[in-house]
């Protein structure tokens, strides 16, 4: 039995290693946005540097031609402003972000950056201008340093450490015996949701994009972490044009404008106070979230 169990164990280890390697490759592809949906148009040009004002103009889209997800969505994010999108699960919030990053092309209307239709731009220049803080940050089975430097692989050690400090990872790293050389990911140190998000923010700060997409995690958080995320978001969005996909209204109270999306249509828009004064969808969502917050153990 012993004789048999050793090779079987060995096979198990090989299997796990192989599976992990495949997962890493899969995740890397999703991070590098190697996708098959869109290609550069003939004569595509690079995004001309500018203030990075965003405009969605009557955007229509469906993943499946038989089911429209966005029914003519129009809004602007003036350069340097923050616009948040809120709405029930499945209302199409993340789809807006995917279209801006051009994972898919719009089927009607247009998305423009400083007046340039993103379908006429090279994908490399479009994506260089956009930083994403995703819902669930992918960590490679490598050092913390490597994971942050991924935001801009040419960055120096000092630049990586400065970005980490700005994302408030400094104290956390200082407590690790191996500091930035600590291995993280599935085979290393497991980071909490908040720590992972700070790695994503450090990556985004290192990339220093004109446009930021912040896709807030859906997971339930205690109010302390929620406040920390709000502060993180404001830090990452400062001086950039930011589109925030929000699940907790409290994290986007200070946005310049909040759009309420319902079944692929903007049904309300305004600042937090303007929306509360309307007594509509937003007010109901706010009341519900306040109630939930009051019943939380913390």
Residues of this chain that interact with ligand ATP (CB under 6 A) are 63, 69, 87, 89-95
Shortest distance, position 168 Cβ to ligand ATP, whole Å: 25
Residue number, 95 or 149, with CB nearest to ligand ATP = 95
SS3 content of the chain, % helix, strand, coil (to 5): 45, 20, 35
- Pick the closer one to ligand ATP by CB: 156 or 219: 219
Beta bridge partners of 261: 266
Least separation in angstroms between CB 213 and ligand ATP: 12
Q: What's the closest the beta carbon of residue 79 comes to ligand ATP, in angstroms?
A: 25
To ligand ATP, the closest distance from the beta carbon of 229 in angstroms equals 16
User: Measured between alpha carbons, how far is 100 from 102 in angstroms, rounded to an integer?
Assistant: 5
Start-to-end Cα distance in the chain? 52
Question: Smaller CB distance to ligand ATP: residue 91 or 143?
Answer: 91
Kindly report the backbone phi and psi dihedral angles of residue 220, in degrees, each rounded to the nearest multiple of 5, phi listed first.
Answer: -70, 140
* 236 class by beta-carbon count within 10 Å (0-12 exposed, 13-18 middle, 19+ buried): buried
Nearer to ligand ATP, 29 or 63 (CB): 63
| Least CB distance to ligand ATP at residue 219 (A) | 12
Nearest alpha carbon to residue 89 among 261, 275, 271: 261
Residue with smaller CB distance to ligand ATP, 192 or 219: 219
Helices (H), 157-271: 157-166, 170-174, 193-207, 223-237
Rounded (5°) CA angle 276-281-286:
55
Residue 252 C-beta: closest distance to ligand ATP, Å = 13
Residue with tokens 């106070």: 273
Q: Between 131 and 134, whose beta carbon lies closer to ligand ATP? A: 134
């Amino acid at each position: 039995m012993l004789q048999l169990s050793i090779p079987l164990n060995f096979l198990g280890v090989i299997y796990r290693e192989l599976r992990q390697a495949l997962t890493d490759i899969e995740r890397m592809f999703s991070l590098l946005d190697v996708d098959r949906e869109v290609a550069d148009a003939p004569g595509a040009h690079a995004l001309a540097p500018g203030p990075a004002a965003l405009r969605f103009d009557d955007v229509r889209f469906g993943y499946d031609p038989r089911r429209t997800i966005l029914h003519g969505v129009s809004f602007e994010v003036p350069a340097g402003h923050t616009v948040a999108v809120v709405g029930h699960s499945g209302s199409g919030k993340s789809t807006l972000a995917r279209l801006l990053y051009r994972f898919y092309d719009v089927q009607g209307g247009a998305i423009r950056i400083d007046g340039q239709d993103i379908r006429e731009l090279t994908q490399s220049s479009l994506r260089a201008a956009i930083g994403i803080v995703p819902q669930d940050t992918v960590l490679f089975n490598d050092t913390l340093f490597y994971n942050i430097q991924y935001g801009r692989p040419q960055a120096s050690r000092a630049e990586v450490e400065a970005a980490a400090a700005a994302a408030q990872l400094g104290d956390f790293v200082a407590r690790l015996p191996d500091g930035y050389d600590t291995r993280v990911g599935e085979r290393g140190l497991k980071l909490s949701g908040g720590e992972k998000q700070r790695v994503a923010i450090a990556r985004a700060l290192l990339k220093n994009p004109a446009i930021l997409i912040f896709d807030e995690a859906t997971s339930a958080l205690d109010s302390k972490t929620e406040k920390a995320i709000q502060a993180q978001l404001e830090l990452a969005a400062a001086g950039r044009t930011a589109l925030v996909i929000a699940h907790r209204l409290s994290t986007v109270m200070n946005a310049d404008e909040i759009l309420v999306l319902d079944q692929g249509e903007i049904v309300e828009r305004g600042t937090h106070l303007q929306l509360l004064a309307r007594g509509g969808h937003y007010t109901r969502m706010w009341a519900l979230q306040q109630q939930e917050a009051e019943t939380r153990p913390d």
